[in-house]
Chains A and B, each alone.
Chain A
Amino acid sequence: KQEVTQIPAALSVPEGENLVLNCSFTDSAIYNLQWFRQDPGKGLTSLLLIQSSQREQTSGRLNASLDKSSGRSTLYIAASQPGDSATYLCARGTSYGKLTFGQGTILTVHP
């Protein structure tokens, strides 16, 4: 069974801090790994997608890495802001688009 695990389950940091969210997955034969943001009661916003042939992707203050050999991905958020507060989900994807999600990390950035 393909599983995705995220730690920590929740994280609270003061504004301005750099932080790292972790995602681990079983089965190194991964097709891609995606990070999403979900605000309360809302759908998902795609943040970054890393193909299996890539090691990292960057978008603004976000950087996501992928280490297939260890079955891990990290999402790095630089200079966190209160507006970054949300639930962050990672998901491993197959070639036909099926996504398996982790449980998410609830991030709170307080002023």
Chain B
Amino acid sequence: GAVVSQHPSRVICKSGTSVKIECRSLDFQATTMFWYRQFPKQSLMLMATSNEGSKATYEQGVEKDKFLINHASLTLSTLTVTSAHPEDSSFYICSARRRLSSYEQYFGPGTRLTVT
């Protein structure tokens, strides 16, 4: 099977600090990774699409300078929440799309971010 990991699984940080979340495809290469955010009792909302070796594409309303995405290799994408505020507290989930597949995505277990 295709496995996607995220690290850390939980993180608590103080307001104003930055937090980096990693998303890794463990047993396959992913040219595209997606970052989602899920607020309590709500569904997943796509934040950005990350393509290996190029700039991420952000969804409308997502601040690219606040949510920095880097996809430096075919197995790793990172999301950095800069100058975090309490309203950024959420569940962040990534997914990875297989290099040779046109539609299958595999989701990570998510990262719970709490900003105090």
Contact = CB atoms under 8 A, between A and B. Distances in A.
Interface of A: 31-32, 36, 41-46, 49, 51, 89, 91, 93, 95-104
Q: Which 4 A-B pairs have the closest CB atoms?
A: A44-B107, A43-B109, A101-B43, A43-B107
B103 A31 contact: yes
Contacts of B54: none
Given A43-B93, A44-B93, A99 B109 contact: no
Given A102-B43, A103-B43, A104-B43, A97 B32 contact: yes
Contacts, number: 56
Interface of B: 6, 32, 34, 42-46, 49, 91, 93, 95, 97, 102-110, 112
A51 B102 CA distance: 11
Contacts of A44: 44, 93, 95, 107
A95 B104 CA distance: 10
Contact of A42 (B45, B97, B109): B109
A89 B45 CA distance: 12
Nearest to B59: A98
Contacts of A42: 109-110
B102 A89 contact: no
Contact of B103 (A43, A97, A103): A97
A98 B49 contact: yes
A100 B109 CA distance: 19
